[in-house]
Amino acid sequence: MIKVLVIGFGYMGEIRAKVVESLEGFALVGICDPFATSAQNVRECPHFTDYREAILALRPDLTFVCTPNNLSPEVCVLALNSGSHVFCEKPPGRSVEDIEKIIAAERANDGLKVMFGFNHRHHPAILEARSIVEGGRLGKILWIRGVYGKSGGKGRGFEQSWRNDPSISGGGILLDQGIHMLDLFRLFCGDFEAVQGLMGTTHWDVPVEDNAMVLLRSTQGVMAQLHSSATLWKHTFELEIGMEQGYMVAHGLLSKTGSYGRETLVVGRRVQDSDPELVPGVPEEDVSYFDQDLSWNLQVEEMGRCILENKAVEDSSTNDALQVMQIIETIYRQSGQCLGGLANLQSVAL
Amino acid sequence: MKTIVSDQHLPEGDIKPAYQMGEFRAKLDADFRRFLSSGISLSECACPGCQSTEASTAFEKSGLTYLECLQCASVYASPRPSPDALEEFYRSSDAVVYWHDVILPDTRAARLAKIIAPRARWVLRTADRYLPEGKTIVDIGQHSSLLVGELLSSRAPQCSVTAAGFLADLDTGFVPCRELNVEPTSLTELSRHAPVDFVLAFDVIDRAADLDELMNGAASVLAPSGLMLAGSTLISGFDLQTLWGDSESIYPPERLNLLSVDGVVKLCARTGFEILEFSTPGVFDAEIVKRAVQADPSAPWPRFLKHLITRCDAEVLDGFQEFLQKYRLSSFARLALRKL
């Protein structure tokens, strides 16, 4: 039985606790959150307000780090140095330096596993798309394009969120949400060698970006484009993948509120000479509609296998987190010139 | 569970020419009435979907009574012939010969392009998604020679395929080749081919005299977590609900089990299969009803239905058919099931 401590009992911490309780082989042994009111809502397990005290008192096998970004590195490092495996929400801190601290602690504690919450990899449309790519029937990926954005909510509440306080979050919508799409780009295309980014604060009164436009090129030559936004008044998740023999479009996300729409995957085959009735550019399509999101469970189950079988973490690993943070930091470096006045973009090799 | 909607343009006449299908149905009706009057015994059965015995009479076709299950709304023939008697029927029916000798050759090209190739792509895509390492296939479908041939050309030489339907030898399209074993096998003996990764069961769920025997047979031959990929007629689909006992798509003995969506879900649950995909990618519902309305415009059709079918243009009907697919309301079901 893997004894689990959840540190940070906000939106994500509560999801993680529910997943842990639903899976065989895991036992929730404690919750830690400085705000007693939220901690009181949890199940019958000890709760703490200080994460150091919680880790030392419970000596968990696995610690879920669901804290704001500025706390994530130090909590991860303490958990690792105390002998606990770590599952940390994305982003893995505020900067490359933060993830490097976590990697150093991972290396210093041989055998302990670290995984990050890039759960979009396990959404049903993405799993289906991955199987199609791996099956090879549509050929190689030529390009990939993603739009991921939210409305920021009603009124001015969005502006008060810690997610828009750079001292806590380290960045804006790109780091908070766009990171998922960049992680998916890497999942499908491998590492990127070049990135150009442009971002701005276009609407909200916040000191971080509320929109980012990013162009990338992978080491294999695949081109990618991302729009990450906090001003999409209709919540949107859309990932298009252009391939030699067809294309796929993942649209919508199964989520707690359903606000991103029903999750679908469109698969179209490029019209061939053997399809005399079809007009080039107007292919037949299959649209898969998904009913169930098991992404939270699948990722935690994989973490359990890594721990119990002493397997290396290959999915959502520290390297995955490092690579995606390097992309984001590159964009932030470039766009530091852009905020408050557009500057010429520079191509930056990662 | 997921649902797949397929955007495909296929007039029913391309694969079921009206005149030939009329001939086929007439021959089948004559053959089957003769068969029933030959003194074979019929047995009553419970709902093949949910096993309930609460049912009311739905309609009669070719001398068989169809009941509607009061629990899951499936429709099924009861009483019905035994599996052995049905095999005997299929092996001596003139209608079956007509199907193989006339309809299949005439529609082969259209079937390959519009039905079989997309179905083969779906099989391969489903295999890639859920069992990419799978290599062994047992086919127990009827009229499945074209599909097996297409799969062999797509997936060979990685896969071994056994055509084990109880009428596999009759399917004249089978051309024995190195990769294909043709071994007609009764459902109760399917396990002798075990373990395999995939069972293909197109056009047999609605035809099986004993549906539990079919599902148990599939389970017995599958390896743990193996996949059963199937297609079947659904009574909850638009054209069958609209036309009911007047539907030309219901002709015994090829449509003994007309399950509803609910009936399929209950069947899978009680026979140890997890539903990975349940789609109704049928493309003929609206066209079939339109033809029926046009053939008998003075019948008491609901006004909106008549308006939709006769007044709206092709784009609206295409959109309506897509709606039926999206909400599992078409009358052809496609299933990807995993053995639990």
Mean pLDDT of A180-204: 96
Statement to judge: residues A59 and A31 lie in one domain:
yes
Confidence class for position B176, pLDDT limits 50, 70, 90? low
- Domain of A54, CATH number, reads 3.40.50.720
Give the count of Cβ contacts less than 8 A between chain A and B.
57
How many Cβ atoms from other residues are within 10 Å of residue B154's Cβ? Answer: 15
| pLDDT band, very low/low/confident/very high, at A272 (cuts 50, 70, 90) | confident
Out of A85, A112, A139, a domain closes at A112
| Whole-number CA gyration radius for chain A | 21
A292 reaches B (C-beta below 8 A): yes
Note the pLDDT of residue B172: 54
> Which string of b and e fits A81-110 if b means at least 16 CB within 10 Å?
ebebbbbbbbbbbbbbebbbbbbebbeebe
CB atoms A288 and B8 under 8 Å:
no
Report how many domains make up chain B: 1
Q: Is residue B315 part of a domain?
A: no
Q: Between A305 and A10, name the one with better pLDDT.
A: A305
Structure tokens at B273: 């299969």
* pLDDT above 90 for B3: no
Instruction: Please report whether residue A131 resides in a domain.
Output: yes
Q: Give yes or no for residue A36 having a pLDDT over 70.
A: no
Q: A348 lies in a domain? A: no
pLDDT score, position B178: 57
Assigned domain for B98 exists: yes
Cβ neighbours, 10 Å, residue A231 = 15
Residues whose CB falls within 8 Å of the CB of residue B59, separated by 6 or more in sequence, listed in order: B66, B244, B245
The answer to whether residue A345 sits within a structural domain is no
**pLDDT value of position B243:** 97
- pLDDT at residue A349 in the model: 53
pLDDT tens digit string along B240-288?
A: 999 999 999 999 999 999 999 999 999 999 999 999 999 999 999 999 9
pLDDT of the residue at B232: 95
Q: B53 by DSSP, 3-state: which?
A: coil
Choosing from A112, A134, A167, the residue where a domain stops is A112
Beta-carbon separation of A287 and B128 below 8 A: no
Plot region of B256 (φ>0 → left; ψ -120 to 50 → alpha; else → beta)? alpha
**Whole-number pLDDT of residue B6:** 77
Query: Does B328 map to a domain?
Result: no
* Residue-averaged pLDDT of chain B: 91
Is A278 a residue whose pLDDT tops 80? no
* A229 and A130 share one domain: yes
Kindly indicate the confidence band of residue A344, based on its pLDDT and cuts at 50, 70 and 90: very low
Alpha-carbon distance of A243 to A270, in angstroms, equals 9
Per-residue pLDDT, A337:
46
Which of A112, A144, A166 corresponds to the end of one domain? A112
3-state SS string for chain A: CEEEEEECCCHHHHHHHHHHHHCCCEEEEEEECCCHHHHCCCCCCCEECCHHHHHHHHCCCEEEECCCCCCHHHHHHHHHHCCCEEEECCCCCCCHHHHHHHHHHHHHCCCCCEEECCHHHHCHHHHHHHHHHHHCCCCCEEEEEEEEECCCCCCCHHHHCHHHCHHHHCCCHHHHHHHHHHHHHHHHHCCEEEEEEEEECCCCCCCCCCEEEEEEEECCCCEEEEEEECCCCCCEEEEEEEECCEEEEEECCCCCCCCCCCCEEEEEECCCCCCCCCCCCCCCEEEEEECCCCHHHHHHHHHHHHHHCCCCCCCCCHHHHHHHHHHHHHHHHHHCCCCCCCCCCCCEEC
Q: Among residues 315-334 of chain B, which lie with CB inside 8 Å of chain A?
A: 326
Do A106 and A140 lie in one domain? The reply is: no
Q: How many CB atoms lie within 10 A of CB B54?
A: 12
Q: Residue A289 and residue B124: Cβ atoms within 8 Å? A: no
Q: Which of B2, B122, B128 sits opposite A289 (nearest CB)?
A: B2
In this predicted structure, what is the pLDDT of residue A340?
37
Residue A287 sits at the chain B interface (C-beta within 8 Å): yes
Q: What is the rounded average pLDDT of the residues B180-204?
A: 92
CA B3 to chain A, closest CA, distance in angstroms equals 5
Taking alpha carbons only, the member of B150, B141, B138 closest to residue B108 is B150
pLDDT of residue B4: 78
Q: Do A131 and B125 touch (CB under 8 A)?
A: yes
Give me the mean pLDDT over the A62-83 stretch.
Answer: 97
Q: Is B8 on the interface with A (CB under 8 A)?
A: yes
In a domain, B296, yes or no: no
Nearest to A288 among B2, B113, B132 (CB): B2
Domain check: are A132 and A202 in the same one? yes
Q: How confident is the model at residue A282 (pLDDT cuts 50, 70, 90)?
A: confident
Structural domain including A35 reads 2-112
Using a CB-CB cut-off of 8 Å, the residues of chain B touching A291 are 1-3
Q: What's the CATH number where A258 sits?
A: 3.30.360.10
Tell if the CB–CB gap between A134 and B2 is shorter than 8 Å: no
**Under an 8 A CB cutoff, do A286 and B1 touch?**
no
Q: Are residues A11 and A28 in the same domain?
A: yes
Q: Residue B185: what are its φ and ψ, rounded to 5°?
A: -140, 135
The fraction of chain A above a pLDDT of 70, given in percent, is 93
- pLDDT tier at B145, thresholds 50, 70, 90: confident
Tens digits of residue pLDDT in B290-324:
999 999 999 999 999 999 988 999 999 999 999 99
Whole-number pLDDT of residue A347: 45
Number of domains in chain A: 2
In which band, very low, low, confident or very high, does the pLDDT at B10 lie, cut at 50, 70 and 90? Answer: confident
Q: Which residues lie across from B66 on neighbouring strands? A: B59, B77
Question: Which domain range does residue B152 map to?
Answer: 12-281+334-339
Q: Are strands B2-6 and B55-61 parallel, antiparallel or unpaired?
A: unpaired
> Which band of pLDDT confidence, cut at 50, 70 and 90, is reported for residue A279?
confident
Closest CA relative to residue B198, chosen from B175, B171, B170, B229: B229
Distance from CA of A281 to the nearest CA of B (A): 14
Minimal Cα distance from B131: which residue of A? Answer: A131
Instruction: Determine, yes or no, domain membership for A320.
Output: no
Per-residue pLDDT reduced to its tens digit, A120-131: 999 999 999 999
A294-318 pLDDT, tens digit each: 999 999 999 999 999 999 999 999 9
- pLDDT tens by residue, B69-95: 999 999 999 999 999 999 999 999 999
Numbers of helices and strands, H then E, in chain B: 13, 12
A101 lies in the same domain as A150 = no
Interface contact A135, partner B, CB < 8 A: yes
Place of tokens 């709902």: B47
Check whether A213 has a pLDDT greater than 70. yes
pLDDT average, residue stretch B190-196: 94
Report the pLDDT value the prediction gives residue B82, as an integer from 0 to 100: 95
Residue A299: Cβ-neighbour burial (10 angstroms; 0-12, 13-18, 19+): buried
Q: Say what the pLDDT of residue A343 is.
A: 39
Find the residue in A nearest to B327 (Cα): A289
CB–CB contact A289 B9 (8 Å): no
pLDDT recorded at residue A191: 96
- With a cut of 80, say whether residue A69 has pLDDT above it: yes
A171 and A277 part of one domain: yes
Quick check: B6 and A132 CB within 8 A?
no
**A274: nearest CA in chain B?**
B113
Supply the pTM of this predicted model: 0.88
The fraction of chain B above a pLDDT of 70, given in percent, is: 97
Contact B124 A285 (CB under 8 A): no
Please answer yes or no on whether A291 and B2 come within 8 Å at the CB atom: yes
Is A61 in the same domain as A171?
A: no
Instruction: Specify whether A125 is located in the same domain as A263.
Output: yes
Mean pLDDT score, A250-269: 93
**CATH assignment at residue B157:** 3.40.50.150
B1 touches A: beta carbon within 8 Å:
yes
The pLDDT confidence band at residue B177, using thresholds 50, 70 and 90, is: low
Tokens 């068969």 label which residue?
Answer: B35
A304 located within any domain:
no
Instruction: Check CB contact under 8 Å for B4 and A289.
Output: yes
Chain A residues with CB under 8 Å of B113 CB are 275
A contacts of B123 (beta carbons < 8 Å) = none
In-domain check, residue A250:
yes
| Shared-domain flag, residues A101 and A246 | no
- Which residues in chain A have their CB less than 8 angstroms from residue B1's CB? 291-292
B213-226: per-residue pLDDT in tens? 999 999 999 999 99
Using an 8 Å CB-CB cutoff, list chain A residues near B3.
Answer: 288-289, 291
Contacts with A177 (C-beta within 8 Å, 6 or more apart), sequence order = A148, A149, A150, A228, A230
Q: Is the minimum CB–CB distance between A33 and chain B shorter than 8 Å?
A: no
Q: What pLDDT, on the 0 to 100 scale, is given for residue A341?
A: 37
pLDDT at A12: 92
> Per-residue pLDDT for A264 more than 80?
yes
Mean pLDDT of B160-183: 74
Option in B6, B128, B132 nearest A286 (CB): B6
Indicate yes or no: CB of A137 within 8 angstroms of CB of B7: no
The predicted structure's pLDDT at residue A101: 97
Q: Which member of B1, B7, B121 has the closest CB to residue A285? A: B7
Element of type H or E holding B339: strand B332-339
**Residue A166 domain-assigned?**
yes
Residue A350 and residue A192: Cα distance in Å, rounded? 7
Average confidence (pLDDT) over B33-60: 96
Residue B142 has pLDDT above 90, yes or no: no
Does residue B4 belong to the interface with chain A, where contact is any CB pair within 8 Å?
yes
pLDDT recorded at residue B287 = 93
Whether the Cβ atoms of residue A31 and residue A47 lie closer than 8 Å to each other: yes
Nearest-neighbour CA in chain A from B1: distance (Å): 6
Which residues from B are below 8 Å from A289, CB to CB? Answer: 2-5, 326
At residue A273 the predicted structure's pLDDT band, cuts being 50, 70 and 90, is: confident
Looking at the fold, whether A268 and A190 belong to one and the same domain comes out as yes
How close, in Å, is residue A140 to chain B by CA atoms? Answer: 16
Closest CB to B1 among A267, A286, A292: A292
Give a yes or no: residue A310 inside a domain.
no
Note whether residue B308 is domain-resident. Answer: no
Residues A198 and A252 grouped into a single domain: yes
